[in-house]
Amino acid sequence: MRHVFITGSTTGLGLAAARALIDDGHAVVLHARSRERAAAIGELAVRAAGVVIGDLASAAETDAVAAQVNRIGRMDAVIHNAGYYAARSREPAATTYATTLAVNIFAPYRLTALIERPRRLVYLSSDMHFSGRGPLRATDGGGQHWGRDSVYSDSKLYVTALAFAVARRWPEVFSNAVDPGWVPTRMGGPGAPDDLEQGPATQVWLAVSDEADARVSGRYWYHRQQQEAAPQARDPRFQDELLVALARITGIALL
């Protein structure tokens, strides 16, 4: 039995991964953005090893999530599943920019730095990371120039590079990035063409499997097949520059 924490595990791929792991006998700590969200998964919450609450768009609440996880105990694996992709015309561009970066890269970074170091880390990426650009900008003064697709692509480039940077920095930890495909979740939409059953399979496998193929680090995966990530994500200089920028913006250094 492995202890696994999954962010964003009340809906979509996070919920599917949590259910699969719990059904296989693992101890899963769930994460909900609010108590209302947690109440919606009452049946699964009863079977979980715990439920932590916090909005990952908030730095303070993200730090509180890390503290809650640490009080439960050391995890064997953390799946950074939570993601944000703004609905069209839902909010001003600057707000979209700030929220997307907060949830998709600042929160995984903060949680990586603050949660007691697990043996395995899995970060959800996307094939949209190939369209991402660098370097990371702060959340103020740039949002009006960025559309929702471009900032989402950037955030996925950054989180992929983060996975690889952690693999270099912490050689004792298996740290990988996963493209789950474009699946018909609430974020992906009903017309998404990929297989929803395959969507959580790779991250679940990387989190708990003892197979040799799963005990690797610094890789980019799609449906349990290694793929070549974007050149920037694989560039150690870009990774190091990203860590410096994240430390400056968040005020937290990854030791």
Torsion sign over Cα 236, 237, 240, 242 = negative
Q: What is the pLDDT of residues 196-211, one digit of tens each?
A: 567 799 999 999 999 9
Q: What is the pLDDT of residues 214-245, one digit of tens each?
A: 999 999 999 999 999 999 999 999 999 999 99
Is 3-250 a CATH 3.40.50.720 domain? yes
Q: How far apart are the first and last CA of the chain?
A: 28
How confident is the model at residue 97, as a pLDDT? Answer: 86
How confident is the model at residue 227, as a pLDDT? Answer: 97
> Domain locations in the chain?
3-250
How confident is the model at residue 96, as a pLDDT? Answer: 82
Q: Quickly list DSSP for 179-219.
A: E--S-SSTTT-TT--S-TTTTTHHHHHHHH--SGGGS--S-
How confident is the model at residue 143, as a pLDDT? Answer: 47
How confident is the model at residue 145, as a pLDDT? Answer: 52
* Catalytically active residues, by annotation: 152, 156
Q: What is the pLDDT of residues 143-190, one digit of tens each?
A: 445 677 889 999 999 999 999 999 999 999 999 999 997 655 455 445
How confident is the model at residue 118, as a pLDDT? Answer: 98
